[in-house]
Amino acid sequence: MSKHMLVHLNVVRPLGAFSASHPNAQFFFGELPKVFARAKADDGMFWHNHGARMPDGSYGDMNDLLSLQTDRTEDNFHILTMAGWRDAKAMHSFAYRDALHRDGMKTLRDWVDRSEGATMVLWWAIKGTRVALEDGWNKLQNLRSNGPSAEGFTLQSRFPPPD
């Protein structure tokens, strides 16, 4: 049995003006409790963490997003989702085969700014490790700047666990 788990960070930066009353934001925040409940019950997931990277580079929780109002994409925060998984198969199964999660991603795909590059990074960590959102953000920036490596990769360019 592996001593490692797969960790992923997924980043969503909303396009255009943002407020909690925007229809996409209402859909997103309305679906979160259901998705979180399914994630918690999934035996392939060890833990999950959610938050935001604010425009000033600070980190906040989901409640901080509810009070934000922006006028343009450049002023927007990044919504961060991070989780520890048994392996890539478990992560892929939840993200792309769970109908609620998959359909939610389809509904919101036109709301996501992809101009900054990769929106997801994966890496291996010792099981039981809780990773800070800032550490995940730094791994994503490294992937965007330097491409896939054992420090951060994609589903299409996976690296094996270190053990």
What's this model's pTM, rounded to 2 decimal places? 0.87
pLDDT per residue over 112-127, tens digit each?
A: 888 889 999 999 999 9
pLDDT per residue over 46-98, tens digit each?
A: 999 989 898 889 998 878 777 778 887 777 788 899 999 999 999 888 887 77
Instruction: Look at residues 111, 119, 124, 117 and name the one whose alpha carbon lies nearest to residue 151.
Output: 124
* Cα separation values, 124 from 53, 83, 84, 154, Å: 22, 11, 9, 12
Instruction: Look at residues 135, 103, 139, 97 and name the one whose alpha carbon lies nearest to residue 118.
Output: 139
Q: Walk me through the domains of the chain, giving residue ranges and CATH numbers.
A: 9-120 (3.30.70)
